[in-house]
Amino acid sequence: MLNLGFFISEKYPQIKQLFTTDSNFIFVVAAMVAMQVVMCYLVKDMSWPTIIFLAYVFGGSINHSLTLAIHDICHNTAFGYHRSLWNRYFGMFANLPIGVPMSIGFKKYHIDHHRYLGGDNLDVDLPTEWEGWFFQNSFLKIIWLILNPLFYVLRPLAVNPKPVTSLEIHNVIIQLMFDGWVLHMWGVKPIVYLISGSILSLGVHPISGHFISEHYMYTEGFETYSYYGILNLITFNVGYHVEHHDFPAIPSSKLPLVRNHYNFKQQIIGERRHRNSHWGRHFCRM
């Protein structure tokens, strides 16, 4: 897909003022992590059905949003490019309620997603040829959606394996320390609440529609689309996917300014690169 960031910044040079950090973002992420720690305490004596319900409706929504915060952090928008290591460890902090280490591994492969958007065997966010061949009918596609978290973990290892880095080891150690602390303090129920919420929210969940919106080709030649609906309020504007790919250095909170103030969507890239339908509808279109 043609990256129009250069042409847009030439037409609107003031857009470069948005290449900055977002100080409020750090506090929002910290509050979300703190909320999940509080929930770990609250669910310790709840029944299992109540825990799973809360994991899907509440905790999973927070954890999914934290994965999107990690996406923002991997572009160094929390502390800036000159403090890249601060961003890596802040990503590990945001990772804590998710229950399993993924922040550094995500960063490692997300670079390829930007560099090779839509490229087979290069962009590991794309389903593999085998996935497209096997999950063809509606029933199997539902199974694929449920298993989406598993494919997101295994696909990079199968398509484009990379060496384990020292930061990934740090990510694992810090995550295990946090999980062990929660287990020691409040037992196994909070751990189940956190991890099941992460798994459920990355599968068949209203927020997960962005996975399809980002990679399902509605119009030939357009590998991704933007969504400008209300769910952006709880997902760090991940719906502004075209804008993000054109300007990955802009913090997610400022992506609406790219569209609203510079209006490049209509003038430069046309109307076909955005879809205002609710993410949940993408499940029905598959």
Q: What percent of the chain has pLDDT over 70?
A: 80
What per-residue confidence (pLDDT) applies to 283? 47
> What one-character-per-residue DSSP string does 109-122 give?
HHHHHHHTTT-TTT
The amino acid at residue 3 is: N
pLDDT at 163 over 60: yes
Q: What pLDDT does 54 receive?
A: 98
What is the average pLDDT value for the chain, to the nearest integer? 85
| Distance between CA atoms of residues 76 and 71, nearest Å | 9
Q: What is the pLDDT of residue 141?
A: 85
Choose between 12 and 83: higher pLDDT: 83
Comparing CA positions, the residue from 180, 182, 171, 17 lying closest to residue 102 is 171
pLDDT at 189: 98
Q: Where are the beta strands (DSSP E) in 191-241?
A: none
Per-residue pLDDT at 242 = 85
Higher pLDDT, 19 or 279: 19
For residue 276, count other CB atoms closer than 10 A to its CB. Answer: 10
Residue 165's pLDDT is 95
> In this predicted model, what pLDDT tens digit does every residue of 118-143 receive, in sequence order?
666 677 777 888 888 898 888 888 89
- Residue 274 and residue 251: Cα distance in Å, rounded? 20
Pair of tokens at residue 272:
């076909």
Query: Can you tell me the mean pLDDT for 105-125?
Result: 78
Looking at residue 130, its pLDDT comes to 87
Q: Which domain holds residue 115?
A: 5-285
* Per-residue pLDDT reduced to its tens digit, 183-196: 999 999 999 999 99
Number of domains in the chain: 1
Using pLDDT thresholds of 50, 70 and 90, give the confidence band for residue 271: very low
Question: Tens digit of pLDDT for each residue in 249-265?
Answer: 899 999 988 876 555 54
The residue-averaged pLDDT of 231-251 equals 90
Q: How many CB atoms lie within 10 A of CB 187?
A: 14
Q: In whole angstroms, how far apart are CA 281 and each of 65, 79, 275? A: 19, 36, 11
Higher pLDDT, 248 or 92: 92
Say what the pLDDT of residue 126 is.
Answer: 78
| Confidence grade of residue 75 (pLDDT, cut at 50, 70, 90) | very high
**pLDDT higher for 23 or 11?**
23
The values of phi and psi at residue 283, to 5°, are -60, -40
For residue 277, pLDDT beyond 60: no
For tokens 């790219």, name the residue. 258
Residue 274 pLDDT exceeds 80: no
